[in-house]
Amino acid sequence: MVERSILASGKGKRMDVIIHIPKGIEEQLEAAFGRDLAQAAREALAIEGYRTERLSLGQVAELLGVSTIEADQFLKERQVPLLYTIDDFERDRKALKSALAE
């Protein structure tokens, strides 16, 4: 069972999610991911959200509380490919060309 609540915070709303995990499974997960299962869950959501293109790199950074550079490194360390299309490349190439011409 999963519970969730939305709390008001300084920057807007924050959702807290409570997941009820049987003790035996909790111990198994802690052995695999460490004692901070909340952080492990955030990381898993960030990875899957980015991999399925539901979260941007900036959103991954915000979810994990790190910079976009750190989020990019986090994803690289977990072999998650950068979502960078040919269109992104062409847009960046044109912007660079324009900036260098100035």
Buried b / exposed e along 36-60 (16+ C-beta atoms within 10 A): ebeeeebbebbbeebeeeebebeeb
Bridge pairing between strands 12-19 and 2-9 = antiparallel
pLDDT digits (tens, 9 = 90+) for 48-82: 999 999 999 999 999 999 999 999 999 999 999 98
Closest CA to 68 of 76, 57, 77, 79: 57
**pLDDT value of residue 19:** 86
What is the model's pTM?
A: 0.70
Average of pLDDT values for 1-27? Answer: 70
**Residue (of 66, 27, 30, 26) closest to 46 by Cα position:** 66
Higher pLDDT, 74 or 35: 74
| Mean pLDDT, residues 4-28 | 74
